[in-house]
Amino acid sequence: MNDSPDDVDLEHAPETVLHVGGASPYDVVVGHHLADHLPEMVGDALRVAVICPEALEELVGEVADALVESHPDRDVTVLVVPDGEEAKTAEVANSCWEALGEEGFTRSDVVVTLGGGATTDLGGFVAASWLRGVRVVHVPTTLLAMVDAAVGGKTGINTEAGKNLVGAFHEPAGVICDLSLLETLPRDELVAGLGEVVKCGFIADPEILRLVETTDPDELVASSPVLRELVERAIRVKVDVVVADLRETGGADGHPGREALNYGHTLAHAIERAEDYGIRHGEAVAIGCVFVAELAHRAAGLPREVVDRHRATFARVGLPTTYAGAGFDELLATMRVDKKSRGAVLRFVVLDDVGRPTVLSGPSEEHLREAFAAISGAAS
């Protein structure tokens, strides 16, 4: 008897391989129980440094053992870093560089990141800067990292001035998105990851929005075929954009290129900093996307129904769509040092419609304040 879609055994379903082309091509493997792929991606490297957060110390032991078993002459060093954004500092990066130096890390050796988006950003930056670039393989353990940080080669750390202002473009040698790792992910963390997924729906793939709008949010779990499709679709969106514009120099025919992936991020990063990174990235992105939808409605005529769809879709999966923390003036000061700004001119990725991103340069402060009032509950 043929299995119906609901009866498919995802635990043993074939993995999906998404190829990322360009000057430094690599594969993103999506599926369940993909541990065997890590030794393949690491290859014959005799030294491997696995960077992981404190919360994953038990899992990293299994990873290190597997790497040694696949190559008995291999030396594996585990570098444990703080959890979350606390890892993304110059001090932590320096401690990793010092450890690589002590281990005699050469250009033929490999860094492996095991963790969420912050670990991926940090580990990618360490790999990009050590000897001006050594190979890195990402094993994201959160939904957010799978669809965002692990793919595309952006790396970075934070400074007092803002988030991700120091970094480098450094594409990985491979990415393993093992959905079985999401089985122990706290629900709030999985929901936060959906912020980046829904964002991809608005900027490029309306089918993502349809899937979210027609699926019971409680069914979006690690074993769900819908979640797997959402992950694969979000990664494809990012791959298509990155291949066309790796270094964020702009797209063709008026498309903002890689900047489109920053939809909602200008305000999101400002909120994260204002909250001392106490808010999850995907939560801040959801708020930021609603903000720029409100801004585009006022400044560029985005239809009200598209704005309302932002609120409804993010809220459906449990993400916030309002913010009543820091004030507008504080957030505006942070937004002015956003990476997309040019001199004194603020620039925002906005939509002309679903799937049609563009850049809005120099919106009036009146429109900015009105859009912020609409998400902060201060609108009249």
Q: Annotation-wise, does 321 bind a ligand? A: no
Q: Annotation-wise, does 195 bind a ligand? A: no
Tell me whether residue 154 is one of the annotated catalytic residues: yes
Written in H, E and C, the secondary structure of 231-290 is HHHHHHHHHHHHHHCCCCCCCCCCCCHHHHHHCCHHHHHHHHHHCCCCCCHHHHHHHHHH
From 138, 154, 297, 347, active-site residue? 154
Topology annotation, domain 188-219+238-243+251-376: Dehydroquinate synthase-like, alpha domain (1.20.1090)
Q: Is the pTM above the cut of 0.85? A: yes
Q: Annotation-wise, does 196 bind a ligand? A: yes
Q: How far apart are CA 284 and CA 9, in angstroms?
A: 34
Q: Annotation-wise, does 116 bind a ligand? A: no
Q: Annotation-wise, does 163 bind a ligand? A: yes
pLDDT at 2 over 60: no
Tell me whether residue 187 is one of the annotated catalytic residues: no
Residues of the chain with pLDDT > 70, as a percent, come to: 95
From 47, 236, 255, 262, active-site residue? 262
Q: Annotation-wise, does 339 bind a ligand? A: no
Tell me whether residue 196 is one of the annotated catalytic residues: yes
pLDDT at 4 over 60: no
Q: Strands 75-81 and 110-115, how do they pair?
A: unpaired
- CA-nearest of 212, 199, 182 to 266 is 199
pLDDT at 12 over 70: no
Q: Give the architecture-level CATH label for domain 5-184.
A: 3-Layer(aba) Sandwich (3.40)
| pLDDT, average across residues 113-122 | 97
Give the dihedral sign, CA 348/352/355/358.
negative
Strand partners, 113: 51, 138
Tell me whether residue 94 is one of the annotated catalytic residues: no
From 269, 280, 340, 347, active-site residue? 269
Task: Give the pLDDT band of residue 162 (cuts 50, 70, 90).
Answer: confident
Q: Annotation-wise, does 98 bind a ligand? A: no
Task: Give the pLDDT band of residue 340 (cuts 50, 70, 90).
Answer: low
Tell me whether residue 262 is one of the annotated catalytic residues: yes
Tell me whether residue 265 is one of the annotated catalytic residues: yes
Q: Annotation-wise, does 265 bind a ligand? A: yes
Tell me whether residue 238 is one of the annotated catalytic residues: yes
DSSP assignment string, 163-193: EEEEEEE---SEEEEEGGGGGGS-HHHHHHH
**What are the backbone angles phi and psi of residue 167, rounded to the nearest 5°?**
180, -170
pLDDT at position 226, please?
A: 98
From 132, 160, 305, 342, active-site residue? 132
Tell me whether residue 12 is one of the annotated catalytic residues: no
| pLDDT, average across residues 103-116 | 97
Ranges 4-18, 112-126, 194-208: which has the least confidence? 4-18
pLDDT at 28 over 90: yes
Query: Considering the chain, what is the average pLDDT of its residues?
Result: 93
Domain boundaries, the chain: 5-184, 188-219+238-243+251-376
Please give the C-alpha separations between residue 275 and each of 157, 281, 307, 321, 339, in angstroms, as whole numbers.
Answer: 17, 11, 25, 16, 19
Tell me whether residue 269 is one of the annotated catalytic residues: yes
Same fold yes or no, 5-184 and 188-219+238-243+251-376: no
pLDDT at position 377, please?
A: 78
| pLDDT, average across residues 253-268 | 92
Tell me whether residue 281 is one of the annotated catalytic residues: yes
From 281, 310, 311, 340, active-site residue? 281
Q: Annotation-wise, does 87 bind a ligand? A: yes
Task: Give the pLDDT band of residue 337 (cuts 50, 70, 90).
Answer: confident
pLDDT at 7 over 80: no
